[in-house]
Structure 1
Amino acid sequence: MNLIEIIAGTALNGVSRASGRLAGAGAYTLFHMPLARSGMRDSERGLFAAARTERIKVGGKSAVTYRWGGGERPVVLVHGWQSRASRFADFVPGLIERGHSVIAFDAPGHGDSTGRSTTVLEYRDILCELQHRYGDFDALIAHSLGVVGSFFALRSGVRAERIVALSGVCDYAYLVEEFSSALNLRPALKSALLDRIGQNLFPGMPVDRVPFSAVHTTEDITAPILVLHDEDDSRIKVTQGRRLADAFGDRARLVTTRGLGHRRILGDPEIIRAVVEFVEHGPVGATMPQSAGHPVA
């Protein structure tokens, strides 16, 4: 637990003793607010300077979008929490070489977009708008929080012929558990947070399906899914990747690695090659990573 988490948790727990409603509102706000904004790396600048950039208005905020290619065979890249589109820089050249157009975005509160917070509703709305602009996606490639946000969008009508989940969150409840544990929230305050999430993000959904989980979409999504997750991921446990793959059965292929953690998986050459091959050829034609440095299970 870092100092910010200690201070925030202590303050929220203290307020909850006087007003559970006020503390619940505060916890909900903080839950959706990244406390750090990731900057663009020097190695990413050239590629992103060459992209066509536009903006999408969502939730009163402005999300930056990036596009390479002429619009043919679109592939969309969906980043995770406290991240940005440029973390997918190493995937773009290979996809373009295979004849795909590539589309990415910075979610509100991330990268070069405005705002201080974001929700899965905004991820959904951005993906819906990108599909409206560019048509159905040949593939959707998502990382971390972007995975559960993408499955929420897929449940809401976004269409992709192939799906890649990298270090992905399967269950929204997992995020609540991690947040509550990090801030050491009192049980009553955690319950208040869950109530607000249900009311604000998932109204009208069956009680047994709140908070949302990607496992709830098995009847809606028929596309093949490649799930890649590192056994040493300390941010999103590999159990989330296993749960996602298990839910979709024969439609999903799980590949686990070692030594890459949560973020380095996005820059590993073997992972990138495997993803590009899966996007191009599907589960039959793709060759999975076999590097001795991070064995595949």
Structure 2
Amino acid sequence: MKKIKYFILVKSIGFYLNILSYINPKKASVIAYQLFSEPRKGKLTKENLPKFLQNTSTEIIEYNNHQIQIYKWLGDDNVILLVHGWESNASRWKKMMPFLHQTGSTIIAIDAPAHGLSSGKEFNVPQYTEFIHATIQKYNPKTIIAHSIGGAASAFYLHKYPNSNLEKIVLLGSPSEMKIIIDNYINLLSLNSKISQYLKKQSEDRFNVKIDTFSVHLFSKNFSQKAYIAHDSHDKIVNVNEGIKISKTWTNAIYHETQGLGHSLHDEKLYTQITAFLLEA
């Protein structure tokens, strides 16, 4: 029943925007972009902070008029950076954390723009990339572990800011093509060509990057870091072919395809394998 209600709601919004595009195309396009870029969930307040995040050392990084929320689990000099995905926050790492502690590392997790306790109302990959950049400048991690769109942002960081200090990258259910993300949104709402063209142009103007050339699997050809790329064959959010494409072009990558874990990829066996990858010399 929930799925039916959600389907009706989504298609109703798309129908409304399509009609509005003939009456007031600018307004329709603005609303469509807002729906695309503003997360509906994932925000936190200090009053409703999950217990998992309460038991951490926290810090705020001021960067380009934004506040980046940082959570720290202290360990040795080796630093691991955790980068979550869309409509989530740093609490998504709760199930993985016991395995990461086995490495003895200091672990840093961030909240994305407009997520968790970080500032902003709008989310986009280039801005998330700048959040990652600011965090890496401060903490100098040797490893990034990223989920979903956080993986695309992490790859864009490596493309924009080559970093020889980073040794290992773990991508979990990450997309490769920015165009696919936008097209999926357009198809979900059944938006017409007027709005579709505006969305792509608006995204390119704000991202300062051509959508058709934003591809992790193209960026990764130049990456020297060791990578562990995991994707589930039944991922309904990001198709498994995205993970396969990235793994084929990343020179030093291990690809692991799971069965039945979905997009979240929460699994003790997988986390054990990732921990072993992190502990490899």
Same fold (TM over 0.5): yes
Partner of 2:154: 150
Change beyond 3 A, Cα 1:233–1:219: closer
Change beyond 3 A, Cα 1:158–1:112: farther
Within 1, Cα distance between the matches of 2:113 and 2:92? 16
Partner of 2:3: none
2:237 equivalent among 227, 235, 245:
235
The answer to whether 1:194 aligns with 2:200 is yes
Within 1, Cα distance between the matches of 2:56 and 2:9? 36
Change beyond 3 A, Cα 1:29–1:71: farther
Partner of 2:174: 168
For normalisation by structure 1, the TM-score amounts to: 0.83
Query: Tell me, which stretches of 5 or more residues in structure 2 are unaligned?
Result: 1-5
The answer to whether 1:130 aligns with 2:131 is no
How much has 1:62 moved relative to structure 2? 2.8
Partner of 2:262: 261
Please give the residue correspondences for 1:73-152 in structure 2 after superposition, counting only pairs within 5 Å: 73-135=78-140, 137-152=141-156
Please give the residue correspondences for 1:6-25 in structure 2 after superposition, counting only pairs within 5 Å: 6-25=11-30
The answer to whether 1:226 aligns with 2:228 is yes
Within 1, Cα distance between the matches of 2:27 and 2:63? 26
CA offsets per residue over residues 164-213 of structure 1, 9 Å max, x none? Answer: 1111111111110110011101123212211111111024xxx5x64511
Within 2, Cα distance between the matches of 1:71 and 1:185? 50
Within 2, Cα distance between the matches of 1:82 and 1:102? 21
CA offsets per residue over residues 100-149 of structure 1, 9 Å max, x none? Answer: 111111112222333332111221111111111111x2211111111111
Within 2, Cα distance between the matches of 1:216 and 1:36? 31
How much has 1:35 moved relative to structure 2? 1.8
How much has 1:219 moved relative to structure 2? 4.3
CA offsets per residue over residues 21-41 of structure 1, 9 Å max, x none? Answer: 44333322221111223679x
Query: Tell me, which stretches of 5 or more residues in structure 1 are unaligned?
Result: 283-297
Percent identical among aligned pairs is 26
Opposite residue 161 of structure 1, the aligned amino acid is E
Partner of 1:270: 269
* 2:146 partner SS: strand
| Residues 43 and 117, structure 2, Cα contact 8 Å, conserved in 1 | no
Partner of 1:287: none
Change beyond 3 A, Cα 1:3–1:108: farther
CA offsets per residue over residues 63-83 of structure 1, 9 Å max, x none? Answer: 311011156111111111111
Within 2, Cα distance between the matches of 1:59 and 1:81? 21
Aligned length: 271
| Residues 13 and 189, structure 1, Cα contact 8 Å, conserved in 2 | yes
| Residues 44 and 115, structure 2, Cα contact 8 Å, conserved in 1 | no
Opposite residue 278 of structure 1, the aligned amino acid is F
Within 2, Cα distance between the matches of 1:111 and 1:156? 25
| Residues 220 and 246, structure 2, Cα contact 8 Å, conserved in 1 | no
Within 2, Cα distance between the matches of 1:194 and 1:218? 23
1:245 equivalent among 244, 247, 255:
247
How much has 1:88 moved relative to structure 2? 0.9
| Residues 202 and 212, structure 1, Cα contact 8 Å, conserved in 2 | no
Within 2, Cα distance between the matches of 1:189 and 1:12? 8
| Residues 221 and 249, structure 2, Cα contact 8 Å, conserved in 1 | no
